[in-house]
């Protein structure tokens, strides 16, 4: 049986996870990795709020592209499913009321988000040189905000009499993907060593020479976006970003360009791994459901990848030009 509409729903579920992740630095690994490279290699700090101003544009564009492509390739077989509303309401009632642990988790998450985005609003209201903003950034950088939200989970009680708290160390130890954290750290360490030893500069100069010696902004962003996309499809977006990131930043510096747009382009392009199950965990999960033939995932992913790369390249090239003129 051809599960046409079911295939579209499953693909949208996987793609939505990757698309939503581009909004914030913590949403997907490539964002964090590229921000780490910028900080280590160029001493450039991109705030949580500043990233969101770019990420929201990419997220909306990606969602529109995915919706249009999936709606045309996997149209619904019926216009209305009888009893769907009652079924959903019944499932909601089965969930019951919010537990104390759930409320505590939402509160801790809200604290972290507020601390992350508050510097952006302070900068708008008071100016980027405000002493209040400088003091806030010194006291509550992004890492401290994340740690504070996590520590609150260990402190807020679920049942204080029984000494039960929202999060126990056992749950944290078993639930956290320590291997992923080691992969992040290893990738940043590898990128830093490539930069310090001169390897990334040697490779970057070679790429610049292959592009004619003085590549245009469009060529620079487009080439590294495509490289990040192809590698993310064949390996994983985390591994692809760790490999391409240091090379792109060094190449941009060698060409006398601002490395920020190239870095953002790599992070956003690596999140476009929609063709193969190996690209991202959401793809692998929905592929394992059996509703998605590999040929349909590849065909759908090609359309979204090609259109998405264009949507990444054009706005960032405009940013490049405005930076050069300014």
Here the tokens at position 317 are 């090239």
CA angle 188, 193, 194 (to 5 degrees): 95
For CA atoms 52, 54, 57, 63, the dihedral sign is negative
Return the pLDDT at 311: 78
Instruction: Name the nearest CA neighbour of 30 among 265, 248, 260.
Output: 265
As a whole number of angstroms, the distance between CA 170 and CA 192 comes to 33
- pTM of the prediction? 0.77
As a whole number of angstroms, the distance between CA 186 and CA 14 comes to 27
Residue 44 DSSP one-character state: -
As a whole number of angstroms, the distance between CA 180 and CA 197 comes to 26
Domain ranges for the chain, please list them. Answer: 4-91+177-325
Return the pLDDT at 1: 47
Here the tokens at position 52 are 């969101």
Instruction: Name the nearest CA neighbour of 270 among 51, 13, 45, 62.
Output: 62
pLDDT tens-digit readout, 65-80: 999 999 998 888 777 7
pLDDT tens-digit readout, 43-99: 888 888 888 888 888 888 889 999 999 999 888 877 777 888 899 999 989 888 889
């Amino acid at each position: 049986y051809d599960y046409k509409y079911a295939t579209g729903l499953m693909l949208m579920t996987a793609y939505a996870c990757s698309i939503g992740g581009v909004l914030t630095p913590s949403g997907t690994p490539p964002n964090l990795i590229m921000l780490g490279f910028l900080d280590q290699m160029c001493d450039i700090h991109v705030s949580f709020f500043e990233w969101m101003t770019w990420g929201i544009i990419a997220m909306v564009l990606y969602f529109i592209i995915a919706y249009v492509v999936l709606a045309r390739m996997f149209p619904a077989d019926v216009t209305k499913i009888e009893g769907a509303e009652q079924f959903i309401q019944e499932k909601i009632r089965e969930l019951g009321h919010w537990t104390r642990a759930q409320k505590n988790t939402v509160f801790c998450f809200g604290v972290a988000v507020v601390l992350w985005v508050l510097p952006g609003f302070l900068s708008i209201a008071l100016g980027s040189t405000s002493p209040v903003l400088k003091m806030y950034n010194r006291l509550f950088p992004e890492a401290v905000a994340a740690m504070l939200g996590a520590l609150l989970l260990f402190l807020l009680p679920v049942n204080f009499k029984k000494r039960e708290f929202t999060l126990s160390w056992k749950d944290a130890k078993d639930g956290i993907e320590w291997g992923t954290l080691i992969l992040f750290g290893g990738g940043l360490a590898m990128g830093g060593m490539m930069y310090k030893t001169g390897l990334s500069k040697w490779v970057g100069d070679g790429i610049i020479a292959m592009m004619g010696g003085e590549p245009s902004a469009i060529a620079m962003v487009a080439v590294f976006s495509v490289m990040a996309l192809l590698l993310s499809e064949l390996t994983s977006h985390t591994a692809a970003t760790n490999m391409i990131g240091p090379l792109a930043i060094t190449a941009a510096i060698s060409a006398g360009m601002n490395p920020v747009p190239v870095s953002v382009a790599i992070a956003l392009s690596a999140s476009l791994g929609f063709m193969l199950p190996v690209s991202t965990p959401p793809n692998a999960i929905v592929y394992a459901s059996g509703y998605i033939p590999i040929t349909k995932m590849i065909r759908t992913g090609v359309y979204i990848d090609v259109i998405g790369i264009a949507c990444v390249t054009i706005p960032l090239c405009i940013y490049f030009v405005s930076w050069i003129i300014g």
